[in-house]
Amino acid sequence: MASNSDSIYNVLTYIHRHPQRVHFIAQRNSNVVSIGVPDTVPVANVELYFPTNRLVVNRLDDDFLAMHGDLLNDFFDRTQSSKLDYQDVWVTTGYVPRQHAYLVELSFE
């Protein structure tokens, strides 16, 4: 699945390492973090992972959570969730050409 790819991992790592270069989007939902990433950031297979004016939603599999838990915990800490932890993570991605940005949204369940 697209959500468990190296491409998604690489974009999440970019956001983690360069928070000043991305735009964190305010959310009403306490368990969600949304980020706008400049479209100048290189992404492999961009048409698959960030389709233009469309959204792709996938649940990160357990192996991805286990391998990248520290990275995901950093994003979870940016939510306003009253929960202490999460069991599932959903990733929504897309490309917004008018903003020249890739959208990355993580939902922690």
Cα–Cα–Cα angle for 57, 61, 64, rounded to 5 degrees = 110
Strand partners, 107: 32, 90
Nearest CA-CA partner of 93 in 20, 7, 19: 7
Q: Provide the greatest CA pair distance for the chain.
A: 37
Q: Which range has the worst mean pLDDT, 26-30, 61-65, 104-108?
A: 26-30
The pLDDT assigned to 9 comes to 94
pLDDT of 3 over the 80 cut:
no
Mean pLDDT over 48-68 rounds to 94
Confidence of residue 29 (pLDDT cuts 50, 70, 90): confident
pTM of the model: 0.92
The pLDDT assigned to 38 comes to 98
